[in-house]
Structure 1
Amino acid sequence: MQNKRSLLFFLLISVFGVLAFVPREDGGIEKLLASFQRWTDTNPQEKVYLHMDKPYYALGDTIWFKAYVTVSARHQLSAQSQALYVELINEHDSLIQTLKLPVIAGLGMGDFTLDDELNEGNYRIRAYTQWMRNAGEDYFFDKTFAVGSPGGDEVQAKVNYQYEIAKEKSIVVAHLNYKDDAGKPISDKRIRYELILNNKVIYSKESETDISGNMVVNLANDAALQSGTGFLRTTVYTTDGRKVIRTFPVKAALSQSDLQFFPEGGTLVSNVTSRIAFKATGVDGAGIFIRGMVVDQLGTEVISFESHHAGMGSFLLKPEPGKQYKAKVVYKDNSTAEVSLPAAQPEGYVLAVYQLDNDSLLLRVTASAGLTKNPGSLGLIAQSGGEMIYASKLLTSKQINSVTLPKKSFPTGIAQFTLFDYKNEPISERIVFIRNQDQMKVKIKTAKKSYNSKEKVEVELESTDPTGKPVAGNFSVAVIDESKVPIEEQMESTIFSNILLTSDLKGYIEKPNYYFTADNDTINKALDNLMLT
């Protein structure tokens, strides 16, 4: 698994390149801030969100979308870019079509037609401006969606992959499930399936669903499967004889579950208590449940732990000098593994951030005892989306330095806290998601609760700022029949989850909208674990 990195971190790295030409002298942090401000002024951080009319489509459909291009930590509509590039990409990463759309006051509109000659499968829409190319493709708008057969809505299918050992050989088990449009299992149904690798059919077989609509397919996890891009294609015949095809991508790097550990601030330091986050993923890249314990080199248990949402969790550890630590892990199927924790450094600093309540943040910098014998100066910077929120020098004459900051100083979204040494080199970094009551409030009302087919519906929309004062806005509305196009709210990519979360992070985020379905301790803890990993 690739560690997520914030786009804000990319901004600072770019500033360090500028600072390489700045003389090191007293007031170094002031020079860093000045260089940072010049860089952000000349390199605006744009983001793109596409509001699409449906969560998935059928061949022959037209994909309609409205584009929002924002800039800065306050997510205002951008006047910087006048053109938006939107690409339609198939599951083989082949470019199907590119649009260059005009952007007026941060807004644009467009559409793609899914030609009948295209194949079913998972497609992507990617969108970006020329300014966004400075940060790289990881920060483009990128959404994956399913495209099925016309009239094939009566067959709903999904797959989960598991890794197993059979006769001392590794296999990948595909657990397929089929339901009709009413949600009832398609049981006792003969289904043909094909394994296709690098556009070649490797083999074709038949199997039958059980009473729950389930079917199991075993794939040899050999060099052929891992050597290229592949997918599993299944064919179902409906009661009226029509053929419905469903395809499921097979990950090229199918392997055992992965577990990684991430010390808060980036480094473990001997005799300094640190929070260590972890992320456990299965063969399909999704989080999985684990439990386990940390032991030292003598096998003595130090602390136990277990994962929560999306295979993530965290625990506290105070590494002792000269000791090595590893995690003994038990997976849901009772298989076990041992994973070494990152080695602790003999000397160093640990940056920790705590959200004490709804109003304030506590920043704590802890130094190892040896570093306080020769006191020096550190720099601490807090920023969000290129907007500098806080900057200060810290003296290392004491082991713990604490700073309290009001949350209201930050916009809602990801904030980055970075600790610098006396040379203005970054030595520790922590990103935190901050919630504030700074969003527009929107109320929608209709004259009545239900309408007849083709009856005119008038919608009244009211938008206010957080204090209740009326505010102007630009909106888009997608209307769908949820009985025919069901959606899972946690899986969706909304303007909140995209602009405030995924657009600032590099790497796959599982169920991004989960973190915006409520504001409670469970979700906020899961969100902080996401920031730590």
Structure 2
Amino acid sequence: MLQAKICGLLFVFDGYSPSTISTNVFVELYDQNKKQISKKIYPLINGKGSGSISLPADLKEDVYYIRAYTTWMGNFSDDFNEIMPITVYNPSSPEKLVKNTSAPWKAAVFPESGTFIDGINTKFAVRLQSKGETPTNWSGFITETQNQQTKLVTFKGFDQNVGSFSFTPAIGKKYQLTLEDEKGIKEIINLPEVASSGINLHIQSQSDAIMFILKGKNIDQNSKYKIIGTINNQLVYKANVSNISDRIYSIPTNQLVNGILNLTVFDESENIVAQRLCFVQPQSLKLKHPSLKGISLSLKSETVILLTLITTHLCLIIW
């Protein structure tokens, strides 16, 4: 009988640069009941390391979790710890993994910029969640709550996880979203109340710039607003706007890093009136040969990235 192992590479970062703070990293293996199966410590050289974890021959088929962290990271939130689920298959295990295709699914809906304003076309994201498998084919439509026979908008999900639609609401009306999968299972979600006034923030991420538009309804045109853009809690953009219109604003991406940009609009009292997340140049993340490049942005804590070298689908077979 061959000994099965989980082999992997470890990269520890201080922000976007390889970290030299820690010289060791801890890697732990847990089952679904949070019982620790293995704990190893591996040396780090200039933020890089490698190693393996041996698995017991009688380990049952299940989904396990790998946790990686450094001693320095113990000074900060556990959110910085790398936790990765991994599926283990064992032909000799009396217990077998079976896909849960009967688990119910739920959905959540998110309006762009967090606002839903009378007369302003708003993009919504729909995300499915389930303890088992989410449906492969699903669709949805929008109706008025008092008139469920007339479909105002219809759409289909992009994949098993997410879909989107755009819709222009009218004040005084209530709307609901109806979702249905290929088995005929439905879920009905009430959309947010339509606001009579406010600001909508619409964003498009392009290869050379982040384009965004501010639209307002029933707001004081003399009011001043502040727009703040951050990546990893680091300030990367700031602008003051005194007149909300359909003007297109542009943030060049040549001075930004790949990541998630958080744009927030504040009023004169420093209240958040609109907020939006977007990816910066996501197409450039598709690299054939990964490399590390040092830049000035940094986090206060280290971050561990664990790459398990098992199979393409992070699946391990014990024999």
**Shared fold by TM > 0.5?**
yes
Q: What's the CA shift for 1:143?
A: 1.9
TM-score by length of 1: 0.50
Matches within 5 A, 1:281-430: 281-284=129-132, 286=134, 288-299=136-147, 300-355=150-205, 357-368=206-217, 370-373=218-221, 375-395=222-242, 397-430=243-276
Which of structures 1 and 2 has the bigger CA Rg? 1
Matched with 1:446 is none
Q: What's the CA shift for 1:401?
A: 4.6
Matched with 1:13 is none
Kindly report the root-mean-square deviation, in angstroms, between the aligned alpha carbons of the 2 structures: 3.4
Deviations 1:83-111 (A, max 9, x none): 42221101222112323444332122333
For residue 60 of structure 2, give the secondary structure of its aligned residue in structure 1. coil
Amino acid at match of 1:96: I
Deviations 1:54-106 (A, max 9, x none): xxxx984233322101232xx32112334422211012221123234443321
For residue 152 of structure 2, give the secondary structure of its aligned residue in structure 1. strand
Q: Distance in 1 between matches of 2:135 and 2:259?
A: 23
1:280 aligns to 2:128 (yes or no): yes
For residue 310 of structure 1, give the secondary structure of its aligned residue in structure 2. coil
1:94 aligns to 2:35 (yes or no): yes
For residue 268 of structure 2, give the secondary structure of its aligned residue in structure 1. coil
Deviations 1:216-256 (A, max 9, x none): xxxxxxxxxxxxxxxxxxxxxxxxxxx553433788xx853
Matches within 5 A, 1:167-246: 245-246=94-95
Q: Distance in 2 between matches of 1:313 and 1:377?
A: 35
Consecutive unaligned residues in structure 1, runs of 5 or more: 1-57, 153-242, 444-462, 466-475, 481-486, 494-533
TM-score by length of 2: 0.79
Q: Distance in 1 between matches of 2:135 and 2:79?
A: 21
Q: What's the CA shift for 1:258?
A: 0.9
Matched with 1:231 is none
CA 1:383 to 1:246, structure 2 compared with 1: closer, same or farther past 3 Å?
same
Matches within 5 A, 1:513-524: none
Q: Distance in 1 between matches of 2:183 and 2:133?
A: 17
Q: Distance in 2 between matches of 1:142 and 1:64?
A: 16
Between structures 1 and 2, the one with greater strand share? 2
Q: What's the CA shift for 1:133?
A: 5.2
1:269 aligns to 2:210 (yes or no): no
Amino acid at match of 1:69: V
Deviations 1:269-296 (A, max 9, x none): 2222210111234451535422231011
Matched with 2:63 is 122
CA 1:351 to 1:327, structure 2 compared with 1: closer, same or farther past 3 Å?
same
Aligned residues: 299
Matched with 2:48 is 107
1:257 aligns to 2:198 (yes or no): no
Between structures 1 and 2, the one with greater helix share? 1
Deviations 1:106-126 (A, max 9, x none): 122333221235434222111
- Contact preservation (8 Å) 2:214, 2:247: yes
Q: Distance in 1 between matches of 2:261 and 2:104?
A: 34
The higher-RCO structure (CA 8 Å, 6+ apart) is 2
CA 1:276 to 1:424, structure 2 compared with 1: closer, same or farther past 3 Å?
same
